[in-house]
Amino acid sequence: MKKQFLLTLSLLALPALALDEPRFSAGWGFDQRSGPALYAAICAGCHMPDGRGARGAAAYPALAGNARLAATPYLLRMILKGGKAMPAFAGVLDDGQVGAVAGEVLRRFGPPGANPIGKDEVAALRAAIQQEQRSQAP
């Protein structure tokens, strides 16, 4: 009983981390698989653990209450391709991971009732971005 109480307590204390996910990845790419673990490993660094963003000489936009999250392709495109201060993560996350972390962002900060994001949707957008980049090459 006491053991179960402690377990519940620790889960409450670390809502964002699945228990079997590594805190640190082994190579250039990320090893975490679940949305909460990927959010904690990547997004929280700049957008902060609670998604409120930050402001210094320039700002990291808040995810909480961000109207742009209404458009899933915008979110996926930012994760894959980046833009301005936001790095591209296409090279360090696979389609499943991109879907998982985008789903987590939507679940926590997006409009209510957002659907989970499938690997196929990510793969299609990844291919479209690669096509755009090829056609832009000088």
Q: Interface with other proteins by CB under 8 A: which residues?
A: 23-31, 40-46, 48-49, 54-60, 82-88, 92, 133, 136-138
Q: What is the DSSP letter of 70?
A: G
The answer to whether 110 touches 70, Cβ cutoff 8 Å, is yes
Structure tokens, 3: 């053991």
Rounded to a whole number of angstroms, the minimum distance from the CB of residue 24 to other proteins is 4
Rounded to a whole number of angstroms, the minimum distance from the CB of residue 113 to other proteins is 28
Whichever of 29 and 118 has its CB closer to other proteins, that residue is 29
Give me the residues paired with residue 86 across strands: 83
Whichever of 66 and 114 has its CB closer to other proteins, that residue is 66
Whichever of 31 and 119 has its CB closer to other proteins, that residue is 31
Angle between the N-to-C axes of helices 95-109 and 119-136, in degrees from 0 to 180, rounded to the nearest 10: 110
